[in-house]
Structure 1
Amino acid sequence: MQGDYFESVEYNSQMEQFVAMLNVYELYKMPIEEMKEKITVTDEEIEEHRMRYGNLGDQISSIGMQYEDQIQAAIDSGNKVAEEILKKERDDKVADITENFNSDEYVREKIVKEKEKKIDEFYRNLEEYSREFTNLRQAYKYYLKDTATGEVFTNLNLTKNESASDFLNKKDMYYVQDFSGLQRNYLFTGYNENFLPYNEVAETILENRKDRDMTGQIGLSKHASEKHFAIMNYKDYQKGQKLFFSYLLLSIAALIISYFLAKRKPATVFGSFDHLKPLYGRIPLDVRAVLLLVTGLFLLLSMTLISEQFVYYHSDVFSSLIELIISLIAAASLLAFGWIQLKFLSEYRKDWPKLKVDVNNSLLLKSYHAILNAFLIKSIGFQLLVILGIVFAMGMLFVAVLVAGGGEIIVIAIALGVISLPIFIMIMRKAGYLNKVLKHTEELAAGNLGADIPVKGKSAFAKHAANINTLRNTVKVSHKEQAKSERLKTELITNVSHDLRTPLTSIITYTELLKTPDLTSEDRDSYIEILDRKSKRLKVLIDDLFEATKMASGNIELHKKKVDLNQLLQQALAEHNEALSQSSLQLRVSQPDQPVYAFVDGQKLWRVFDNLIGNILKYALENTRVYISVREEQNQIVLSFKNITKYELGEDLNELFERFKRGDQSRHTEGSGLGLAIAKSIVDLHEGSLDIGVDGDLFKVTVILEKLN
């Protein structure tokens, strides 16, 4: 129905491929050396290359941190050779980065080398695709001329007295196109994966020559081989088009004939099938649905066979016609059978209650409920199945012996006794065990936890006993957790009272002292300074408690965006830079060279890093190393903070997440005891995890967040 083949998508795609290759291989062809000479580097490219990994300070700092741990490890192991090599590598990289920022020419040379590699890759691709271009040139003939220079490009074998019009005409070509409407429709490289792989450097250089004004024509030659794919596509299109219109006309004729035949002899098709409705209604609904589905599948199969006659051209017309007639008869019969079924089923539209009843009475639903109930406890269902199977088999054997006659009846009776006795004993033992389980359940319901029920074997009754034991142990654990909760609640009230009362007492005391009549100005200023410090301390405690409560309840709004966790951690470290430099702690930070992004609330997550670094400053043992690392694991970002504690920690580490809990049990430090609680709440709101671990005096906090790809 598309009309002419040369207006079809298939032909236009072939022509686009040929012209794209013609541009690269002939019209705008240039030697590799010439293309490399035309490489240009803009100031924007120099600046982009220079700032690719941040400013000079960031890049030097990143290189230093990258080699710091390796050099320290070499020093610790006494490996002088490795130490020197690592230092030289580091210094060379620093020198290279420094030179990038000092000299535009130095950067330009590096960019030129990168572009030359791209050009080499482009010419390797040209060699790989040259055979395909040669094949296309056998079918497509062209005569093109550069109007500015007069240069001619053609693959016609013209003699001195011949012109392009002697060949590019309707006599020798299937179709001829003007080149002017083709050349500006696409890129030189990579217009389609079937053409040439896209190459940005080569594209930019060739693009500068695209303003050449080329005139001429391209045609599909009638003298090309009949086996060439371009010619075969054209022939198949024509054959398929003729076949399609033949079928279309025949179908219209058949429809008209059928219409007039029906007018001459009207008939009620479904009236003769009404007597089958009661019989059809007795069939379960799911069986009727399967029957309709099978009918539909076979109808689709026959329709597929019909459609193949339209799509594919067959040289044996008689064979195709036979297949078409058989397919039409089968499709018509199946369509009628399916239509009758749909007619009967459509009556449910007027009787929805009947549909609900038939659904509940379907074989599938009945079988499902029966099996589900029988195997609600799998072992019982299986044992019941085995017992019934044995009884059924023995009954059939007994009936067979009775029918056959003979003295084997006594033997069968003895065999039945031997088999039924163990089954009887097994059932009685199961019943006794069940009674014991029920007795313990009654005691548990009465509040008497008592001892565990003995679990014997792997039967359903044994599993039931094990579940009751688990329930009893859960109740015990619940009692313990309740007692622990009460203890923690008491400790929370005590800690809150202590931490709030200390600054409050100071405020009251110094307020009273300020009321002294003969107070000197120096003492008054000193008291006011203390009042200011204590009141701010009290405000921090109250704000932290308020924030921890909001975090725990989830009543807080997150403003998430794309954040580089490397940079966020560096900002948090910079905030504590003075305190870290004044402390005796040796900080070791390990981060990836590239940014590590996550979709988080940067302000809230900065608070997590700030609290964890603050805890390190408060609780880390003097003159020890502190390790902070960032690494990527699959789709997660893992941050770890490790230090040696100056205080001995208790056994229950989870209590450190409780509000107003401190590693310093004497509460001599300035902390509020809310740092870890707030940090964990923030990480939980981000659907991450914050875990702590202790190995002796080594304290470790691990934060895991989802990475943004």
Structure 2
Amino acid sequence: MNLFKRVRFEYGITAMYLVIGGLWILFSDLLLELTISDDKKIHNFQTYKGWFYVVITGIIFFFFIKRHLEKLRETEKRAKESDRLKSAFLENISHEIRTPMNGILGFSELLKTQNLTGEQKSEYIDIIGKSSERMLLLINDLVAISRLETGEIKVFYSRIDLNNLLDTLLSGFEHQAKEKGIELCITQRPKNNNCEIYADKEMLTAILSHLLNNSIKFTSKGGVTIGAEIDGSYAHFFVKDSGIGIPKEKLTHIFDRFVQADNVVKMAYEGLGIGLSIAKAYVEIMFGRIWVISSEGEGSKFEFEIPVNKPVNYN
């Protein structure tokens, strides 16, 4: 069967037709000679035999070709969807790159203007810095997607203090939350005597950063909370927000690449729609799982868990 799959379709179906036809002629003629001695009856049966062969092979090849065409249509459908997503992705990339670049170039030119006050210079430099940070995040996401696509991602396990990690993330995202006028806090911590795990620190930080960035981005009032706990052989993490929530029909696709919760809302927010897919990929690379609980208009809670120790059979 595997050999047949490697043969081109037109060659395979021709070979099948010839083999079936040859075997049918050989064995049916032999059977007639052994069971019937009347030449007239043999002649009549030869006619029936021919029609029987035509009908049976017609039915067989109908379903065989039908199945092959269904696979081709499904492949074509997936290819078109992939092309559509890639086109939308490239279009979005051009917009995302152009926005921070315009900020960097525009305000760099303004800094050359004479008679600027110290306050104006500070404001322009701050805008250039934020635009540069946004550009760096974009590039990091593109590099991550590229590595995931080519399978070049490797896990580097090290000891991680989860309380220190939570504090670092909190301080890193506090400014972003304050700018939106929402609260950001840690509501659950591991116990101090049980707060270390072995994982890839860069990946774990990226997972939580993507979840925090996503929650802050889609939350305009209320707040975002983050927490972690160690339960047996797994470390459990969550990021909860009071944002726009996710429609029920979108939940199964929210971790798909280039997807945001609502395409209409999407245009009002920055991002390529790949952060959650990167987070999911990183979680699964570390032998964990990720899920989301959400209702439209009622916020979302993203949760994931990973083993606390390096897998025994991992090289």
TM-score by length of 2: 0.61
Q: Aligned in 2, Cα 1:640/1:477: closer, same or farther, shift over 3 Å? A: farther
- Residue number in structure 2 paired with 1:646: 244
CA distance in 2, matches of 1:553, 1:472: 30
Q: 1:703 aligns with which of 297, 304, 314?
A: 304
CA distance in 2, matches of 1:529, 1:581: 16
- Residue number in structure 2 paired with 1:17: none
- Deviation, 1:619, is 1.6
- Residue number in structure 1 paired with 2:93: 496
Q: 1:692 aligns with which of 285, 288, 292?
A: 292
- Deviation, 1:502, is 2.0
Deviation readout 1:542-596 (Å, 9 max, x if unpaired): 2331233224433244321233445433442344355557743474623443515
CA distance in 2, matches of 1:639, 1:532: 31
User: Alpha carbon RMSD of aligned pairs, Å?
Assistant: 3.9
Q: Are the equivalent residues in 2 in contact too, given 1:589–1:627 (CA < 8 A)?
A: yes
CA distance in 2, matches of 1:637, 1:513: 49
CA distance in 1, matches of 2:300, 2:79: 28
Q: Aligned in 2, Cα 1:549/1:609: closer, same or farther, shift over 3 Å? A: same
Amino acid at match of 1:482: A
Q: Are the equivalent residues in 2 in contact too, given 1:591–1:630 (CA < 8 A)?
A: yes
CA distance in 1, matches of 2:60, 2:95: 47
Q: Aligned in 2, Cα 1:628/1:649: closer, same or farther, shift over 3 Å? A: farther
Q: 1:442 aligns with which of 22, 45, 61?
A: 61
CA distance in 2, matches of 1:612, 1:484: 26
Q: Are the equivalent residues in 2 in contact too, given 1:565–1:595 (CA < 8 A)?
A: no
- Residue number in structure 1 paired with 2:17: none
CA distance in 2, matches of 1:507, 1:652: 35
Q: Aligned in 2, Cα 1:691/1:472: closer, same or farther, shift over 3 Å? A: farther
- Deviation, 1:609, is 1.8
Q: Are the equivalent residues in 2 in contact too, given 1:586–1:623 (CA < 8 A)?
A: no
Q: 1:604 aligns with which of 165, 187, 203?
A: 203
Q: Aligned in 2, Cα 1:577/1:534: closer, same or farther, shift over 3 Å? A: closer
TM-score by length of 1: 0.30
CA distance in 2, matches of 1:482, 1:581: 43
Q: Aligned in 2, Cα 1:494/1:595: closer, same or farther, shift over 3 Å? A: same
Q: Which structure shows the bigger proportion of residues in strand conformation?
A: 2
CA distance in 1, matches of 2:115, 2:252: 50
Q: Aligned in 2, Cα 1:676/1:509: closer, same or farther, shift over 3 Å? A: same
CA distance in 2, matches of 1:604, 1:613: 14
CA distance in 2, matches of 1:631, 1:474: 46
CA distance in 2, matches of 1:533, 1:616: 19
- Residue number in structure 1 paired with 2:142: 545
Spell out the pairing of 1:345-384 with structure 2 (5 A cutoff).
none
Q: Are the equivalent residues in 1 in contact too, given 2:236–2:304 (CA < 8 A)?
A: yes
Q: Aligned in 2, Cα 1:616/1:552: closer, same or farther, shift over 3 Å? A: same
Identity in percent: 23
- Residue number in structure 1 paired with 2:233: 635
Q: 1:676 aligns with which of 260, 265, 276?
A: 276
- Residue number in structure 2 paired with 1:614: 213
CA distance in 1, matches of 2:188, 2:288: 21
Q: Aligned in 2, Cα 1:627/1:559: closer, same or farther, shift over 3 Å? A: closer
Q: Aligned in 2, Cα 1:575/1:501: closer, same or farther, shift over 3 Å? A: closer
Does residue 521 in structure 1 map to residue 115 in structure 2? Answer: yes
CA distance in 2, matches of 1:503, 1:580: 20
- Deviation, 1:682, is 2.3
State the number of aligned residues. Answer: 249
Q: 2:166 aligns with which of 563, 569, 573?
A: 569
CA distance in 2, matches of 1:646, 1:694: 9
- Deviation, 1:672, is 5.0
Unaligned runs of 5+ in 1: 1-431, 450-470
- Deviation, 1:477, is 4.3
Spell out the pairing of 1:387-398 with structure 2 (5 A cutoff).
none
Amino acid at match of 2:285: L
- Deviation, 1:485, is 1.5
CA distance in 1, matches of 2:76, 2:61: 20
Spell out the pairing of 1:184-199 with structure 2 (5 A cutoff).
none
Q: Which has the higher contact order (CA 8 A, sep 6+)?
A: 2
Look up the SS of the partner of 1:555 in the other structure.
Answer: coil
Look up the SS of the partner of 1:700 in the other structure.
Answer: strand
Q: Aligned in 2, Cα 1:641/1:507: closer, same or farther, shift over 3 Å? A: closer
Look up the SS of the partner of 1:576 in the other structure.
Answer: helix
Q: Are the equivalent residues in 1 in contact too, given 2:280–2:290 (CA < 8 A)?
A: yes
- Residue number in structure 2 paired with 1:187: none
Asked which structure has the greater CA Rg, the reply is 1
Q: Aligned in 2, Cα 1:610/1:535: closer, same or farther, shift over 3 Å? A: closer
Amino acid at match of 1:610: S
Q: Are the equivalent residues in 2 in contact too, given 1:584–1:622 (CA < 8 A)?
A: yes
Q: Are the equivalent residues in 1 in contact too, given 2:160–2:196 (CA < 8 A)?
A: yes
CA distance in 1, matches of 2:236, 2:72: 37
Q: Aligned in 2, Cα 1:609/1:625: closer, same or farther, shift over 3 Å? A: closer
Q: Are the equivalent residues in 1 in contact too, given 2:174–2:184 (CA < 8 A)?
A: no
- Residue number in structure 1 paired with 2:44: none
Look up the SS of the partner of 1:520 in the other structure.
Answer: coil
Q: Are the equivalent residues in 2 in contact too, given 1:661–1:673 (CA < 8 A)?
A: yes
Unaligned runs of 5+ in 2: 1-51, 311-315
Q: Are the equivalent residues in 2 in contact too, given 1:554–1:685 (CA < 8 A)?
A: no
Q: Are the equivalent residues in 2 in contact too, given 1:628–1:639 (CA < 8 A)?
A: yes
Does residue 555 in structure 1 map to residue 152 in structure 2? Answer: yes
Q: Are the equivalent residues in 1 in contact too, given 2:210–2:279 (CA < 8 A)?
A: yes
